[in-house]
Amino acid sequence: MKAPVARKIPHTITTHGQSLTDEYHWLRDEHWQKMVAGDLDFKNPEVFEYLKAECAYKEHQMADYQPVKEKLYGEILSRIKEDYQSWPVKKGEFLYYYREEKGKNYPILCRRQASMSAPEMVYLDVNQEADDKDLYMFGPSVTNRANTFLAYGYNLTGSMERTIRVRNLETGLDCSWSFPNSTGSILWIDNDHLLVVERDDQARGKHVYRVNIHQGPEHKELLFSKPDEFDAMFLSLGETTDREYLLVYLDSGGSQMVYLSPRANIYFQLFAHGTDDVVFHLDHYQSDFYILTNLNGANNFQLYKTPANQWNQWQLLQKESDTISLTDIHFYNHYLIIEQKNNDKALDELVIRDMNTGQQRIVAMPDAAYELDFSGDWDHNATTVRLDYSSPIMPATVLELDLPTVQTRKVYTRETPSFDPTRYVVKREYATARDGEQIPVTIIHQKALVQDGSHPAFIYGYGSYGYGMTAGFSSKLFSLVDRGFVYATAHIRGGDEKGYSWYLNGKMRRKMNTFYDFIDVTEFLIAQGYTAQKCVAINGGSAGGLLMGVVTNLRPELFGCVVADVPFVDVINTISDASLPLTPPEWEEWGNPLTSADDFNYILSYSPYDNVQATDYPPMLFNSGISDEQVTYWEPTKMVARLRALKTDNNLLLLNMNMHAGHAGASKRYEWIDEEAFNYAFVLKCFGMEQ
């Protein structure tokens, strides 16, 4: 079967005196917004036919590895306990948890009163809600303080839109109304009133409404509207740990605004406005606000406080450190919990400060590389809080942290069948970047592995928006590790693994650091004997898909296989199109090619779609979803079309377009496993590994 060949229809745009011709612009269907909403009504039938042809070609090319995929599916599934019950979370007098049952794709939400020996109450079975639906994205979900009602959201297309409903937890019935076109940001004001953020035309959030759950949105009350001059910013809700204050955040790639209101009498006022990458994290304790911020160039952040009745009297409490980056704060009882990053180790840490004595202690962690999430407690007066913890070879674990003693106690570890952690080694090494920076690399391999350069490697990377890649547990990757792969996560610039400066040094005009770091990590692993050139599979999604496109254009001979998930590859066209919902906020992350010729030229220099060459490329797989409004379907579609036209090799090039999914991919548990098995089967096929 021959690969589909897309027609070339020249479409030329001129920016800053430079003309770019896009021969595959026509693959962007005029009805794309209908597709985001789940209606596959193509204006141009030829686009639909081309996508179907790509899907058929993908199935044909992978048919010989169907048995391998099925074996991988079975392996991944074997490391998942299909009948599973989560560790409960105490909310008032109720214990909340969820169950997963063998053969079912979605969780079953349950609670018990006072004790886990009490009768179980199923308050929402997501399987029933998702019945007969191709896709059902569940969440968010949050109960009111009286534990009488649940507010929850869902989406049926894969877009970012959420429809909000409220369920009576005593009767199990939903209120008669629904609130469509929400961002999914919701917050209970009291037991009978809910704050809901309504989307604008660009999906960023515009209005905050108060909804009386007994009356519904027909009588909604507008409490806040985003000022028109901040139209490009995303709107979300929050609250202080003691619940005394409500928060409205406006965020974009480099700016943030924080509005505050007392809960008792809602009136939002501007608390802080940060520009040029200045951000704020705040909480309330007794009569003061405490603020973490990188104001005045303190990119490792400093801690301030100011009286709640006089917001402009900021007092510096903790100066910026050279090696520690402060990331968040929470108050429980009379303890201040500081989340921070150890920039040298690229690891999250917790510090507990007794506000009565001033004593401050760090919480010890059991592993050299790990993932740590602070979950806290329902009650802000609690002296014991929950931490969610894992490491590359320790499955999801719940730790209870006793604040007075700063000691942790393991209360639960998720059972992972068919997995023996003693068979593997986890390392944290550091690759030297071409400019001398030390790039952390988390490495997993079998204990018996010899670093002789004979092993395949799988390297994962992201490196954008300040989203750090943590060293957490993922059972799926052991299907590769057990076959002799070295699995590595490259903690490259653009993430925040080594603090906020690590992020800033991988954005805007420093974006090339992200791509060079990934290449330098790859060459480090080769030099250290972990793998060899062309024996390296690489993977990244969304902005990590951009990473895949750039590094493959720069060094196509280095890699043996590329898997790009929902990849942001048509950068210059997307960032130049202000009509797309996510484009204006992105200008503060990447630059604005419409107003700056320098930004235009810099982005153009790495934009994967615009830098495809007439050269040999490694085998490549592009995964996407037709309803994706974050990285629209035509980006990977066009990329594949241009690669087919220009590349000079016969290596495998596939477009895997999910016609019932968006940015997050499949929502069903077993479909997700199938997607992972397909990706790994592709990798094995590229390396000629049949088992």
Active-site residues, by number, are 542, 628, 663
Q: What tokens does 224 get?
A: 């806040």
Long-range contacts made by residues 447-454, C-beta under 8 angstroms, separation at least 24? Answer: 447/422, 447/423, 449/425, 449/484, 449/486, 451/528, 451/529, 451/530, 452/529, 453/526, 453/529, 453/530, 453/531, 453/532, 454/532
In a 3-state reduction of DSSP, which class is residue 274?
strand
Smallest CA-to-CA distance from 635 within 580, 545, 552, 568 is with 568
**Are residues 648 and 614 in contact, defined by beta-carbon separation less than 8 angstroms?**
yes
- Per DSSP, the three-state class of 586 is helix
* 3-class SS of residue 350: strand
Bridge-partner residues for 407, per DSSP?
402
Q: Which among 617, 602, 605 is positioned nearest to 534, based on CA atoms?
A: 617
What 3-state DSSP class applies to 223? Answer: strand
Q: What are phi and psi of 234, to 5 degrees?
A: -85, 140
Give the total residue count for the chain: 691
**What DSSP state is assigned to residue 31?**
T
CA distance 159 to 200: 14
Nearest to 603, CA basis, from 478, 675, 512, 537: 512
Residue matched to tokens 């806290």: 376
List of long-range contacts for 152-157, beta carbons under 8 Å, 24+ apart: 152/124, 153/182, 153/184, 153/186, 154/129, 156/38, 157/36, 157/37, 157/38, 157/627, 157/662
Residue type, 211: V
Token pair listed for 317: 């409490």
**Helices within 415-511 (DSSP H only):** 478-481, 500-504
Tokens 């809700």, residue located: 237
Distance CA 323, CA 237 (A): 31
DSSP of 514-541: HHHHHHHHHHHHHHTTS--TT-EEEEEE
Contact between 656 and 677 (Cβ < 8 Å): no
User: Residues 151, 141: contact at Cβ < 8 Å?
Assistant: yes
- Residue 255's φ and ψ, nearest 5 degrees, are -135, 155
Cis check: omega of the bond before 140, within 30 degrees of 0: yes
Closest of 245, 402, 434, 287 to residue 337, by C-alpha: 402
Q: Which residues contact 411 (CB under 8 A, 6 or more apart)?
A: 87, 398, 399, 400
DSSP letter for each residue of 156-179: SSSSS-EEEEEEETTT--B-S--E
Largest CA distance in the chain: 74
What does the block give as tokens for 601?
A: 């030229």
Determine contact, residues 197/207, Cβ cutoff 8 Å: yes
Rounded to an integer, what is the distance from CA 457 to the centroid of its chain? 24
